[in-house]
Amino acid sequence: MKNQVKRTVLIGSFLAFFAVTGFAESMYISDKLKVTVRRGPSTEYKILDIAESGERVEILETGEDWTLVRLDNGKEGYVTTRYLMANPTHAIRLEQLQAKHKSLTQQAAALLEENTSLREENKKLLSTLSGTEKSLKKLDNDYQELKAGSAEFLSLKTKYKQVSEQLTEQTKKADILDKELSKVELNQYIKWFLAGSGVLLVGFIIGFSAKRQRRRPSLL
């Protein structure tokens, strides 16, 4: 975000610079000079101002010996053509390079600070990611354990249901067998009772017959 703002400001500055200077050619006063700016193209004309070395002037009319220029303060006058140069002086270029170097140094410092901040943020993100991976691994283990436990529980539930059904069926069979056994025991008791009653009856008959036989001889 900071880099985008800086780029936008730099582009705007360049556009503004070219917008101002694009309508007329600019030249510079050569190194280590103070050039007089006169009212006319001759040393006989009055001096209007002094242009120092490295000062930028706007070219209004070019001549072989004299050139009509406009200074930064708005004054217009003639200067000797041989003192004009198309490129900035070495001193100006040095200042420009120093300013550019300063700007680049500031940008580098800002980028270094931003890079450090991004490194710290990336470190935090990696730490958070590591914690998230551990939590996810634990959650997966818990899920697998729960899944295995659920499968075991379902298996036990199915077995319990089967055993419960078998127990219910066996209980029913046991009830039926118990009822049948009760019937058998009752029948057995009845048989024993009848057998016992028969034995008693036979004994009674035999006893009774014996008494009658004893009584008959006494009557004779």
Residues 170-179 have a mean pLDDT of 81
Sheet holding 26-29, edge to edge: 47-52, 34-38, 76-80, 66-70, 56-61, 26-29, 84-85
Average pLDDT over residues 160-167: 81
| Residue range of the domain that includes 49 | 2-88
Asked if the structure places residue 59 within a domain, the reply is yes
> How many domains does the chain divide into?
2
pTM of the model as a whole? 0.33
Q: Which of 88, 109, 124 is the last residue of a domain?
A: 88
Verify that 68 and 39 share a domain, yes or no. yes
pLDDT at 80 over 90: yes
Claim to verify: residue 179 and residue 95 sit in the same structural domain? yes
Q: Look up the CATH number of the domain holding residue 6.
A: 2.30.30.40
Query: Which of 88, 107, 129 finishes a domain?
Result: 88
Residue 215 forms part of a structural domain: no
Query: Can you tell me the mean pLDDT for 21-47?
Result: 78
Same domain? 64 vs 96: no
Same domain, 12 and 64: yes
Average pLDDT over residues 92-110: 77
Residues 60 and 126 both lie in one domain: no
Pairing of strands 84-85, 47-52: unpaired
Last residue of a domain, one of 88, 103, 133: 88
Domain annotation covers residue 201: no
Helix (H) or strand (E) holding 215: helix 90-219
Residues 17 and 75 grouped into a single domain: yes
